[in-house]
Structure 1
Amino acid sequence: MTITARVRSGAIALILLLAIAFAVSAWRIHAIRMGGPMHRASMEIADLNADILPPPEYIIEPYLEATLLLDHPERIDATRARLAELRKAYDDRHAVWEQSALPDHLKRAILADTHTPAMRFWQEAQGSFLDAIAANDMGTARARYAVLTQAYDAHRKAIDALVKATAEEQAAFGDRSSQSLWASIGALTLLALALFGTIGWFAWWLTRRVAQPLAQVAQATTTLSRGQDTAIPYRDRTDELGNIAQAVARFHAAARSRAEMDAAHLAEQENVGEMLGAALAALEKGDLRHRITSPFPGVYEPVRVSFNRAASALSAMLRTTIHGARNIGTGSSEIATASEDLAHRTETTAHTLQETSAAIQLIENRLKSSSQSAEATMARAEQAGAMVHAGRSTAQNAAIAMNSVSERANAIDTVVEGLDKISFQTRVLAMNAAVEAGRAGEAGRGFAVVADLVSALALRAEEEAKRGRDLINETQIDVATAASEVRAVDAALVEIVENFDGVQELLQALREDNRSQASAISDITRSVVEMETATQQNAAMVEQTSAAARSLDREAATLLGNAEAFRVDEEVAGYRSGASEAAFEMAY
């Protein structure tokens, strides 16, 4: 059986044991917990003790009410109501105990032994006894009271017996609860001991069967890694540890075989290294004519062939380099001379472009000044146009106001005409009043005086109304003249606005032309400046090219001196640049 399987089986066993322990613990705790079966049974017995004491199951209070009624018959109505309340309470609690889970002997005692005499008591108390008291038949009442007393005594004996039985049952229940508690503690203790024993045995088994063998295999592996030979234990086991030991043994055998092969290869490598060292030493001294003639063993032979090919290719490449360096020296001298001439011509062109740029810049400034003047003239023209439009609006408003004044003058003329008519009618009425006052004689004299005054006042009002009409007519003539003049001014302003709009359009066209010319000149100036900048940059680049050509000439001379320091193969007759290029390509 493998270690993994054993560990898995042990883990499953521990989990099952823990699950059983938890289930038993939960079952026992549920039995003894608050609100559990034992606690509920104890509470029912306690409730029974509370109920059998008065009231309601113990009918001592109804008996007391009957006794008091016998001495005080006048309380019959209150006693009847009180007995009804106590009887209802008794019946309600009796129904509760019929549905309870009490032990059989307690349930029989509360439902039969105490209930039978109680029912006799209630029948007498609410029946014959109350009827006799209501009929004021005290003799019959006392006889019924004696029957009540007998029923009460029988009930009292049954209650006493029930109290004793409940006390005994509660004591027995306490003993059972204690026994159940100790049984639960014992079961949990046994489960805990079994769990601890299982965990201890599992730890011992892991230490004995897994940890110690792994430590021994690890120690053997460490010894082998140091190059020492030792036996590998537990190779005969069939679990994972045996597989590890067998794998370590195979690795040890492979390592030993590899070491023997490495020793043979090391000897070959030393021989190859000596010959390569001699060849590289010759290369270090600049001798490219050295070749390795002795064959290399095994896989190292391609290294010798590659070295010889590389030496031949390097020799051919250096021959080509020497020839190229000489050609580069000649070409770089010619490039330097041509670059100096080009730099002089470029400087002359840059100076000419600078003068051209200054002239175009002056023209651009003149055009910008003209454009600014045109902008200012256009702004003034726009302001004047706004003022002319405002004046025209004012003239139109004045014409509208004159028309309004003329209309109101006509309205005032109508009002004055009405006043004139009122004055005339008032004067007529005053004349009629004077006639009537004359007819009245001495009694209407005062009224005649008033009529004369009213007539004079009406005449005066008529004169003033005529004068107002004349003034209004003159005002209407003046207003008409003023309105005509305002309309003439408005017509003149209309012509001025139309002519001014034409002037403004011409100024606008002139401003646009100035802007276009200024933009074109700006583009030309920018182009010339860019050409000047590019020419100056070209001049700088030409100077750099000239300096680079002179530096290239010096570097070519240095390269030629360095290349001629190597000893290369003699050049064969008929040497061509194509052959050197082929050798260069073979080298790469």
Structure 2
Amino acid sequence: MKLRIRARINLIGVAAGIGLLVLLGLSLMKLSAVMHEDIAVGTRHAVESAHGVLAHYETLERNGTMSRADAQKAALTTLSAMRYGDNDYFWVNDMQPRMLMHPMKPELDGTDLTARTDADGKAMFVQMVDIVRKNGAGFLQYNWTKPGATAAVPKLSYVKGFAPWGWLVGSGVYIDTISDAVWAAGVSLGLLALLVAAIVLLCGWRIGRSITVPVETVTARMRSLADGDTDTAIPGLDRGDEVGEMSAALTVFRDAAVVARGLELEQQRVVAQIGDALSQLAESDLTPRLDGFPSAYAAIERDFNQAVERLSTALAAVRASSDAIGSGASAITQASDDLSHRTEQQAASLEETAAAIQEITTTVRETADGTARANVAVAETRAEAKASGDIVRQAVDAMGGIERASAEISEIITVIDGIAFQTNLLALNAGVEAARAGEAGKGFAVVASEVRALAQRSADAARDVKARITVSATQVDRGVALVGDTGRALDRIVERVEEISTLVATIAVSASHQSSGLQQINIAVGEMDSTTQQNAAMVVENNAAARALSGKAGDLLGLVERFRLAEATRGRGYGGLRALAA
């Protein structure tokens, strides 16, 4: 929130007035609370005194001095005559509730109070009984009509139960007097607060005016100084407060503004002269120089003149360099043409070499493939020879088995021949015995003769088989010897095949290495060919760049010729450029 100083000072007075009003309200609330507390304490003490009267007569009843009826009657009579405060009284009712004694409204005596309500419909006597039953005693506020009045007003009552007789004694105070007293106090205190607030606002207004009027005057002078008024006097210099200090500071600002105006005029002259020189520079004229600047701008004058001088020297050097660049570019172009021709010849030679090496590589690769296939065939032959050797060895073993079987058969035949011989002897003996037996042994002699003939045939057959087996054994021995020779020959063949396989494998590995080496050579030659082609392309590009450089050098020379240089810088050339770089 943006407020002026005067409004802020007046706001202090308004805040003070509001504070007084708030304090007034809090004071009145506190006063009302204190008065309510005093009335409540006084009412409770009065009811406790009345309760003491009932206790006194109940004691007389217990002592036998009075009967209950007499004691209760005397107690009611005493309480009906008792007064305190502003003619305040007591009443008594039982817990039904039923009114037993009301000094101000005797018409209520003996009536049922259950349906009795105040102006707001509150059944206050029923609530009083509830308070006594719950707490034994307590306060209750309700509206009740004052004696001699028609309108009900707020009333605060205190009730307390008397258990021996089942009674309830109470008394109340009309609290509208509290509101009247608080209102009267509020009016008097409000008037006092308004008076104090008015005084505070008046003092704030006077103090604010005494501050804001000089401040506004100095502020107006500040605005005029900002608009360029350096002749009008500064107000408030004779004051000894903060406003006087502001005026003194404003005087310093005015003096600084006067000095700044002089400096501005001087700066405008310097800027105008620099502007003229820059205009000539924009027209490619490098002859203008600055002269006659004030001491504050001497550095600008010196730096500008040196910059123009160095620029002139640099342009002169650029002009000389442009000539040299043009000559060098022409030489580079001629050399690039020669290099391009030689590079093309070398590329053609490399291309032919690459083709020849490619053919050799293909031939060596085919030789390596044939050697590899021969190696595979030799390996298969070696495997087959080894397998044949194994078969021959198995055949030798089989021949040995046949030889052993022939020997065993010869032994069996020998046994059979022996058996035939023994059978023949037995048949002969049987024939002798049959002959001795005569006629009785003729049949047996025939059998013996047949057995002998059978034994003879068996012996002949055995000798024939033995002879054949002997011949077979001889042939088997020759077969075993031949198969053994065959196995040894196959073993020698396998050894030679293995030597051949080793040689062929060595040849295959060498051919593979030669193929790989030739492949690498082919790749290297291909890369050389590609590099040579790239070099040829780069030579062409360099040639084009040299021609472009020559053209750009001519353009640069044309641009430099547009500048107008001082006569002293025209012949400096490269020496001036070196000095500029240094």
**TM category, shorter:** 0.3 to 0.5
Which of the two has higher C-alpha Rg? 2
Name the one with the larger strand percent.
2
Give 1 or 2: higher helix fraction: 1
TM-score by length of 2: 0.45
